[in-house]
Amino acid sequence: MASGRRRAGRLSRVVTKATKPAAKAAAPKKPTRPPRGPGRAYWLVKSEPEKWSWDDQVKAGAKGTVWDGVKNHTAKLNLMDMRKGDLAFFYHSNEGLAVVGIVEVIREAYPDPKLPAGEPWVVVDVKAVEPMPKPVTLAQVKATPALKEMALVTSFRLSVQPVTEAEWKAVRAMGGL
């Protein structure tokens, strides 16, 4: 008889556990990015010169052009962090591998107009500000100890990268500005 009670007790506990509502699963944590401080930020944007070159950017004039084609989530988040008035180095990738000019963000992130609604990708608008009198090559950046932590060195494949103020000043000086 005692064994029958134990079984019944076990069954009632199992039934009780099975009929209790399941606890809500904790929501997955969203990746956190440090909040953007006030003032201007600096960036580096990459373009393949055979698709969109510095000369093409200059020809777009004061109205600027859409900076599109970004299909990497980290680069997209960087686009979303850009503010009107921020400056970016214009970098020729694949050919030349050099910073060749400076662009200014003239419109903050908005949905990529070339894609269907609901797609997660964004664009910004940029205009040419000034060319680098002397293009600054990737090799030069890598050879400069003060730039060893620059995203261009550590995250080479990322198409939209943050640039610190110290890196900004160093690359401008290397380029003759």
Sheet holding 160-163, edge to edge: 65-67, 122-137, 98-111, 87-92, 42-47, 160-163
Range of the domain at 58: 40-174
What are the φ and ψ backbone dihedral angles of 38, each rounded to 5 degrees?
A: -75, 160
Task: State the average pLDDT for the chain.
Answer: 86
The verdict on residue 6 lying in a domain is no
d(CA 92, CA 45): 9
Residue 23: strand, helix, or coil: coil
- Residue 122 included in any domain: yes
Helices (H) and strands (E) in the chain, counts: 6, 6
Following DSSP, what letter does each residue of 30-50 receive, concatenated?
PPP-PPPPSS--EEEEEE-TT
Q: Of 76, 53, 57, 75, whose CA–CA distance to 66 is shortest?
A: 57
Band (33; pLDDT cuts 50, 70, 90) = low
In a domain, 4, yes or no: no
pTM of the model: 0.79
What's the domain count of the chain?
1
Check whether 11 has a pLDDT greater than 60: no
Residue 151: CATH number of its domain: 3.10.590.10
Q: What is the pLDDT of residue 37?
A: 72
